[in-house]
Amino acid sequence: MMELSRLDLNDLAGQRILVAGDFMLDEYIWGQVERISPEAPVVVVNVHQETRVLGGAGNVVNNLVGLGARVTVVGLVGQDNAGALLTGELQRLGVDMAGLVVDPGRQTTRKTRVIGGNQQVVRIDRESRQPAPATFATALQERLETCLAGQDALILSDYGKGVLTGDVLHTLITAGRQRGLPIVVDPKGRDFRRYRQATVITPNRKEAAEAVGYPLAKREEVLRAGRELCLALDTEAVLITLGSEGMALIPRHGPPQEIPAQAREVFDVSGAGDTVVAVLTLALARWHDLLAAARLANLAAGIVVGKVGTAPILRSELAAALHTQAAPGPAKIISLAELLLLAPRLQAQGKRLVFTNGCFDLLHWGHIKFLEESKRLGDILIVALDADDSVRQVKGPCRPVIRQSQRAAMLAALEAVDYVTIFASEQLPDILQALKPDVLTKGSNYPAAEVKGRDVVESRGGRVVLIPITDPVSITGLIQQICQNGD
C-alpha cells in the first residue's frame, strides 16, 4: 500500500469523473423569530436572507470540484425554477452537463430549510420518487458516448429518487466496465443486486445491515456482511462506513482491513458519505490502490464531520491533514476554485462574508488594523491578494518586494483573516459576481466612487464600507526611505 504522507494531492487535479444520480437543490431561508402567529401556535419567521446549494449527488460534485476534478453529470431535473437554479450552480462550478436531462413533467427535488434565530424551524421537501421515464434511458443511450469519453472513473450516487433505475444502472455499469473504469456506488435501499459488477460499494452500517438482513453490531458481523455482499454482487470490494468506529474495507480477494476513525470532534455527519465516495473514487482512479484510497477517504471524512452543515472537502484542508507538520496558516490559503465552492456553503450556514482585496506588500500595522476592522463587519473575512504580475502592472517593475506566496502566508497567520486567495486584478468583477459577498471593504483613502467592484456588490444586495485610515503609510515612500538610508 502507498504511504499517505507520500501522496501528492495536486495529482488529483484534472482527473475526470462522471457522476450519475439524484441531483437536488438545498434551500435555506434565514430569518429572526420575534413572535408567535395569532393564526396558530407557530413562530413567525421574519426572512432576511435566502441561500441555495447543490444537494444529493450534487454534494458529491462539490467535493470533487473542491479537490480539482473535472466533472460530468448524468441526471434528471424538471423544467422549473428549482431546475434552473440547480443547473445554474453546476455551470458556476464549471461542470459538464452533457448527461443532464430536463423532463417537463417532473419536479426537481428541492429541500427547503427554514432557519429562525439559528434554529431549524421546519424542512419542506418537494420531490418525485417515481422511476425516471423510459425517455430518460433513451436520452442516456444517445448521450452515453459523449458523457464517458475521456473519463477516469464513474460514481453512482443513489438517493432513491428514481433516477438510477435498474436499466440505467445496468447501462452505466456495463459501459464503465467495458472501458475499464473504476465504478464506485453509494447505494440506497435493501436490494443491492442492482449494483452488480460495480468496483466498490460504500454502504454505511445501517444500509449494509438492511441489505444482508441482520444487524451489524459486532465486528464479526460487519466482516461477514462485507464478504457476503462481495460474493453476491461480484464486486471487487465493499467499504462499510461505521461512524465513530471508522471503516471496514472487505475485498473479494485478500484479508479485510479495519480503518480506525480520525480523532476529531464531531459536529455534523451530514454529507460525510458524499465526501467518502468522492475522495475514494479520485484516489482510486489516480493511484489504483484501494486501501490507500480508503484510508484517504477516511481522513477526509474526519475533516468534514468537524464542520457544521453539509460541507465539501477542500484540497488544502486534506493536504494539511496529510502533512500534520504543516502550520495552521497554509490551510487558510485556498484557490479561487475552492473559494467559489466554499462561499455558498458558508452563506448557507448563515455566515456573513466580508471581502477585501489588495497587494499587502510589506505588511504593516495599518494593514492589520484595517483587516481587524473589516472582520468586525461579518463572520468570515476573505482576502483576495493581487498576484505578483498584477502588482507589477500597477506598481511598476520593482514591486512587489515580497512575492505572493510569502504575502499570502503572512496574511493567513493573522487571526482576523479566515481565507486568502491569489488573483489577477482583471478577475475582480467576476469573483465578486460569483461570491456575492455581504460586505466589500476598502480603505477610506480611496474615494467611494473609485472602489472597484462596488457596482457589482451593491447590485447583488451587498454594501461597500470604507474603513477609516487615520495614519496612512505609503509603501512606495517607505521603500524609497529604506533605499536612501542604505545609500
Bridge partner residues of 352 (DSSP): none
Q: Is 319 domain-assigned?
A: no
Q: Is 171 domain-assigned?
A: yes
Q: CA 219 to CA 204: how far, in whole Å?
A: 14
Confidence check: pLDDT of 473 > 90: no
Query: What are the residues whose beta carbons fall under 8 Å from the beta carbon of 65, sequence distance 6 or more?
Result: 71, 93, 94, 95, 312, 337, 341
Q: CA 457 to CA 464: how far, in whole Å?
A: 7
Q: What is the pLDDT of residue 89?
A: 92
Reduce the DSSP state of residue 136 to 3 states and report it: helix
Q: Does 402 share its domain with 307?
A: no
Bridge partner residues of 16 (DSSP): 70
Query: What are the residues whose beta carbons fall under 8 Å from the beta carbon of 445, sequence distance 6 or more?
Result: 469, 472
| Number of domains the chain contains | 2
Q: Is 331 domain-assigned?
A: no
- Global pTM reads 0.81
Q: Is 321 domain-assigned?
A: no
pLDDT in tens, 185-235: 999 999 999 999 999 999 999 999 999 999 999 999 999 999 999 999 999
pLDDT in tens, 19-33: 999 999 999 888 889
Q: In this structure, how many other beta carbons lie within 10 angstroms of the beta carbon of residue 8?
A: 10
pLDDT in tens, 358-390: 999 888 888 999 999 999 999 999 999 999 999
pLDDT in tens, 224-278: 999 999 999 999 999 999 988 899 999 999 999 999 986 555 444 556 889 999 9
Q: Does 295 share its domain with 340?
A: no
Cis peptide before 215 (omega within 30 of 0): no
Residue tagged 529604506 (cell numbers): 482
pLDDT in tens, 111-127: 999 988 778 899 999 99
Residue tagged 505578483 (cell numbers): 388
Q: What is the pLDDT of residue 98?
A: 95
Q: Does 358 share its domain with 457?
A: yes
* Residue 290 in grid coordinates: 484501494
Give the domain extent around 221: 4-313
Confidence check: pLDDT of 296 > 70: yes
Query: What are the residues whose beta carbons fall under 8 Å from the beta carbon of 162, sequence distance 6 or more?
Result: 22, 128, 129, 130, 131, 132
Q: Is 320 domain-assigned?
A: no
Q: Does 288 share its domain with 354?
A: no
Q: Is 328 domain-assigned?
A: no
Q: Does 378 share its domain with 285?
A: no
Give the chain's mean pLDDT: 89
Q: What is the pLDDT of residue 477?
A: 65
Cα 327 to Cα 263, 276, 368, 432: the distances in Å are: 19, 25, 20, 29
Q: What is the pLDDT of residue 298?
A: 92
Give catalytic residues, as residue numbers: 274
CATH number of 365's domain: 3.40.50.620
